[in-house]
């Protein structure tokens, strides 16, 4: 089997196929594994993630994948979400021993950064979501935006800004008026309502690249190969059947089955033009729009942040991660490395790196007062202009299943149809689904896909069969 692409989709399909007893050859264009969820070393020697990546307790397949490749203990889960207002006031959300969907009600009631009118409006809307099992009928067409739905459910302006937007823009990397309400509502159902632990934030305590060390072993140990700097230039097709792939060095390789796990804007360029024109599955990929994420890396000479991470309200900066603490740097470590994340960062794309750093530093001053005595030693901005596909109304119709219309070719990638947005969980689901589709084709079906966390408490009665 040949797998093209060493991001999470390619790695998870390759590991699953290897576990099923197949010899896999994984070809990755870059010098490292992980794709968009990778890390690398800067010229100054700092090991940085492409961007901070977090997982949630409800990401059952990513958790399964990390376990398979021996990386599960490199993810630390946090039970408390800490929010900061621009004046520095903090508010926490966490779970209490009450049956879902009431498990977060106590911390929500005490949350100081929302007023009673906001909380009442939010509670009403959350109850509507919970009682519909995460699927209110009025959004079933896939044409309603999240903002439309929130306005229909009479959310206050502050509830939208300080609650719905804060969670959804970072979970889905898109603005509320461009999100299919089904995706938005699913986030609340899976992470915050139906289970007690779905909202827990999992953060790697090592650079992302170290999470994939066990993948090579899982593939090579079963007779396969992982090749880096091994870009594929084209997929050869004869009468609707894939017959081989051509590598960038001109060599041609053949296999019984091929999995492509490259981004959706790259796949059509690898296929013969007439095949793309003929097959709507490939032609329609151009309809999937993408949205940007900006990461800002700041190194200070002093410690200015005590918390492991913070969500910032009413500011351009959305999340601040205390990388020094997350990587286990104790009190003896000098200085501090913070990573800031801004999702759906359309406004930042045209701005200069210096401007972005100054904007973020200004916002941090209110929230982390210690910054006034600290010196910024170094700052880097990473703009990912096509970070994820946009979960816009109608986007599902362009997401293909993992079995392609070409014999021998299977598709993986966060953009293929998984029901999940563009996330690491979505990528792993796609990889498992591609492997399952191949194994069915071979006549030796096997399940890799893990189910969602089972609904608990009152939500057990409201949950619907998928």
Ligand X SMILES: Cc1cc2nc3c(=O)[nH]c(=O)nc-3n(C[C@H](O)[C@H](O)[C@H](O)COP(=O)(O)OP(=O)(O)OC[C@H]3O[C@@H](n4cnc5c(N)ncnc54)[C@H](O)[C@@H]3O)c2cc1C
User: Please, which residue, 231 or 329, has the CB nearer to ligand X?
Assistant: 231
Contact with ligand X (CB under 6 A): which of 14, 25, 35, 381? Answer: 35
Stretch that binds ligand X, among 29-37, 212-220, 307-315, 390-398 (CB under 6 A): 29-37
Q: How far is the CB of 389 from ligand X (least distance, A)?
A: 9
Question: 247: helix, coil or strand?
Answer: strand
Contact with ligand X (CB under 6 A): which of 2, 24, 39, 53? Answer: 53
Q: How far is the CB of 269 from ligand X (least distance, A)?
A: 8
104 touches ligand X (CB under 6 A): no
Q: Binding pattern to ligand X, positions 237-276, x when CB under 6 A?
A: ------------------------xxx--x----------
Q: How far is the CB of 438 from ligand X (least distance, A)?
A: 17
User: Please, which residue, 271 or 364, has the CB nearer to ligand X?
Assistant: 271
Q: How far is the CB of 62 from ligand X (least distance, A)?
A: 7
User: Please, which residue, 268 or 335, has the CB nearer to ligand X?
Assistant: 268
Between vectors from CA 454 to CA 435 and to CA 326, what angle results, nearest 5°?
A: 75
Q: How far is the CB of 114 from ligand X (least distance, A)?
A: 24
Q: How far is the CB of 215 from ligand X (least distance, A)?
A: 12
Stretch that binds ligand X, among 50-58, 109-117, 200-208, 332-340 (CB under 6 A): 50-58
Contact with ligand X (CB under 6 A): which of 3, 6, 114, 200? Answer: 6
User: Please, which residue, 156 or 343, has the CB nearer to ligand X?
Assistant: 343
8 touches ligand X (CB under 6 A): yes
Q: What is the Cα–Cα distance from 246 to 443, expressed in whole angstroms?
A: 28
Q: How many CA atoms lie within 13 A of 281 on its CB side?
A: 17
Q: What is the Cα–Cα distance from 421 to 219, expressed in whole angstroms?
A: 27
193 to 232, contacts with ligand X by CB under 6 A? 231-232
Q: Binding pattern to ligand X, positions 315-354, x when CB under 6 A?
A: ----------------------------------------
Contact with ligand X (CB under 6 A): which of 25, 29, 190, 429? Answer: 29
H helix count then E strand count, the chain: 16, 20
User: Please, which residue, 54 or 348, has the CB nearer to ligand X?
Assistant: 54
Stretch that binds ligand X, among 25-33, 68-76, 132-140, 296-304 (CB under 6 A): 25-33
User: Please, which residue, 60 or 422, has the CB nearer to ligand X?
Assistant: 422
Stretch that binds ligand X, among 47-55, 71-79, 274-282, 348-356 (CB under 6 A): 47-55
User: Please, which residue, 231 or 268, has the CB nearer to ligand X?
Assistant: 231
Residue 57: CB partners within 8 Å, gap ≥ 6? Answer: 77, 191, 195, 197, 198, 199, 200, 202, 453
Of the candidates 59, 35, 352, which has an alpha carbon nearest to the alpha carbon of residue 212?
35
User: Please, which residue, 261 or 439, has the CB nearer to ligand X?
Assistant: 261
Cis check for the bond before 341: say yes or no (omega within 30 of 0).
no
Contact with ligand X (CB under 6 A): which of 22, 25, 36, 190? Answer: 36
387 to 446, contacts with ligand X by CB under 6 A? 387-388, 413-414, 422-427
Asked if residue 365 lies in contact with residue 403, where contact means CB atoms within 8 angstroms, the answer is no
Dihedral in degrees, nearest 10, Cα atoms 173, 175, 181, 187: 40
Q: What is the Cα–Cα distance from 466 to 464, expressed in whole angstroms?
A: 6
Instruction: Enumerate binding residues for ligand X (CB under 6 A).
Output: 4-10, 27-30, 35-37, 51, 53-55, 231-232, 261-263, 266, 293, 295, 384, 387-388, 413-414, 422-427
């Amino acid at each position: 089997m040949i797998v093209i692409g060493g991001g999470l989709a390619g790695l998870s399909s390759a590991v699953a196929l290897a576990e099923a007893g197949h010899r896999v050859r994984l070809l990755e264009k870059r010098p490292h594994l992980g794709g968009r969820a990778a890390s690398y070393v800067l010229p100054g020697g700092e090991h940085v993630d492409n961007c901070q990546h977090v997982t949630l307790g409800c990401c059952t397949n990513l958790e399964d994948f990390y376990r398979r490749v021996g990386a599960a203990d490199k993810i630390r889960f946090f039970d408390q979400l800490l929010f900061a207002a621009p004046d520095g006031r903090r508010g926490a959300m966490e779970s209490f021993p009450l049956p879902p969907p009431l498990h977060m009600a106590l911390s929500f009631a005490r949350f100081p950064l929302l007023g009673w009118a906001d909380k009442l409006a939010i509670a009403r809307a959350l109850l509507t979501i919970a009682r519909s099992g995460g699927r209110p009928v009025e959004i079933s067409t896939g044409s309603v935006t999240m903002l439309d739905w929130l306005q229909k459910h009479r959310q206050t302006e502050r509830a939208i800004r300080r609650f719905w937007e804060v969670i959804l823009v970072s979970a889905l990397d898109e603005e509320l008026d461009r999100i299919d309400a089904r995706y938005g509502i699913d986030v609340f159902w899976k992470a915050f309502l139906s289970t007690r632990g779905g909202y827990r934030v999992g953060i790697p305590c090592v650079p992302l690249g170290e999470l994939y060390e066990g993948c090579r072993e899982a593939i090579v140990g079963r007779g396969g190969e992982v090749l880096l700097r091994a870009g594929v230039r084209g997929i050869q097709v004869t009468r609707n059947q894939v017959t081989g792939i051509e590598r960038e060095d001109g060599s041609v390789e053949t296999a019984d089955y091929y999995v492509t796990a490259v981004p959706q804007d790259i796949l059509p360029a690898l296929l013969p033009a007439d095949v793309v024109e003929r097959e709507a599955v490939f032609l329609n990929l151009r309809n999937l729009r993408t949205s940007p994420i900006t990461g800002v890396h700041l190194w200070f000479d002093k410690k200015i942040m005590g918390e492991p991470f913070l969500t910032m309200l009413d500011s351009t900066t959305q999340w601040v991660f205390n990388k020094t603490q997350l990587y286990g740097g104790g009190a003896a470590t000098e200085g501090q490395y913070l990573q800031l994340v801004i999702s759906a960062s359309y406004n930042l794309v045209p701005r200069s790196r210096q401007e972005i750093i100054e904007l973020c530093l200004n916002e941090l001053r209110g929230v982390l007062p210690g910054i006034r005595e600290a010196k910024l030693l170094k700052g880097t901005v990473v703009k990912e202009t096509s970070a994820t596909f946009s979960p816009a109304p109608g986007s599902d119709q362009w997401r293909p299943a993992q079995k392609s219309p070409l014999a021998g070719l299977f598709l993986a990638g966060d953009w293929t149809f998984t029901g999940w947005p563009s996330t690491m969980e979505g990528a792993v689901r796609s990889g498992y689904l591609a492997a399952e589709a191949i194994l069915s084709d071979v006549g030796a079906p096997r399940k890799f896909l893990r189910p969602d966390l089972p609904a608990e408490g009152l939500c057990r009665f409201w949950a619907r069969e998928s």
